Amino acid sequence: MPPSPGPGRRQLLQAGLASAGQLLLGGCALNDLGPGVAGASRPLNERLEAWLQSRGPIPEFRRDQVEPQRLLVNNFQAVPQIDPASFRLSVEGLVHRPLSLSLADLAALPQREMVIRHVCVEGWAAIVAWGGVRLADVLALAGVSPLAGYLAFDSADGYFETWDRPTALHPQTLLVSRMNGAPLPAANGAPLRLATPLKLGYKQSKWVTGIRLLASLDPLRRGTWEDQGYEWFAGL
């Protein structure tokens, strides 16, 4: 059996920080130390998690290890009704070539499948085979400006997320249209959602309709749950 991809790396990070006063705050949670300590420890947390991510691909699982029964549906709003024929993904902001991509446009790009563990902040996890196009390939089509350090993702259900640029460019970050060898179900984000082994589930937006490249983040609008106190980086 191949090594576990996400949790082993995160456990190593947490163990190292535990000896330094347990300042690391796990993925999303607001713990008993309070927002003051959370704010003080977050920059260190993000730098260390980013360093772990920069060390190469996350090990993946075998296809026969997929756990479809363990992937729970946890939505922000009701499942939106999206017509695949009229769907367009917009890519705008700090790019040289703004895009409006149909599902056929996305399907014409190189496709990739990865079998990774999806980890939810609520304490459950599931091994999933996600299939789709690398987000980095879409961004390459748009020609991202060197001034862009962040991405904002809009979703059809009103969910909102922001990411750091390095995670978006990671080869294991996908815009997903397939799950476990079949078309992505509507309840799981069809026609297009984010998937990566690098971040907790609440960062992986469903029903993605728009991507905007930004030079900086609005401190009052960092993400649907982040604006309520969850960790912004949320790395594994």
Mean pLDDT in residue range 164-171: 95
Whether 106 is in a domain gets the answer yes
Q: Which of 18-32, 125-139, 145-159 has the lowest mean pLDDT?
A: 18-32
pLDDT band of 51, cuts 50, 70, 90: confident
Residue 93, pLDDT score: 98
The total domain count for the chain is 1
Q: Which of 44-53, 140-149, 227-236 has the lowest mean pLDDT?
A: 44-53
- Rounded CA-CA distance 226/38 in Å is 13
Residue 18, pLDDT score: 33
Whether 43 is in a domain gets the answer yes
- The DSSP bridge partners found for residue 176 are 132, 193
pLDDT band of 68, cuts 50, 70, 90: very high
Residue 1 has pLDDT above 60, yes or no: no
Whether 233 is in a domain gets the answer no
Tens digit of pLDDT for each residue in 80-93? 999 999 999 999 99
Which residue, among 153, 229, 159, has the nearest Cα to 196 in the 3D structure?
Answer: 153
pLDDT, greater one: 61 or 44: 61
Q: In the numeric block, which tokens belong to residue 127?
A: 């091994």
pLDDT band of 76, cuts 50, 70, 90: confident
Residue 144 has pLDDT above 70, yes or no: yes
Residue 127, pLDDT score: 98
Whether 181 is in a domain gets the answer yes
Whether 1 is in a domain gets the answer no
Whether 75 is in a domain gets the answer yes
Domain of residue 50, residue span: 6-228
Q: In the numeric block, which tokens belong to residue 12?
A: 């190593």
- The DSSP bridge partners found for residue 99 are 91
Q: What is the CA radius of gyration of the chain?
A: 17
- Rounded CA-CA distance 192/13 in Å is 31
Whether 183 is in a domain gets the answer yes
End-to-end alpha carbon distance in the chain: 20
CB contact set of 158 (below 8 Å; sequence gap of 6+): 76, 77
Cα angle for residues 212, 185, 231 (degrees, 5° grid): 45
Residue 88, pLDDT score: 98
CATH code assigned at 86: 3.90.420.10
How many angstroms separate the Cα of 23 from the Cα of each of 32, 40, 45, 216? Answer: 12, 8, 8, 26
Whether 70 is in a domain gets the answer yes
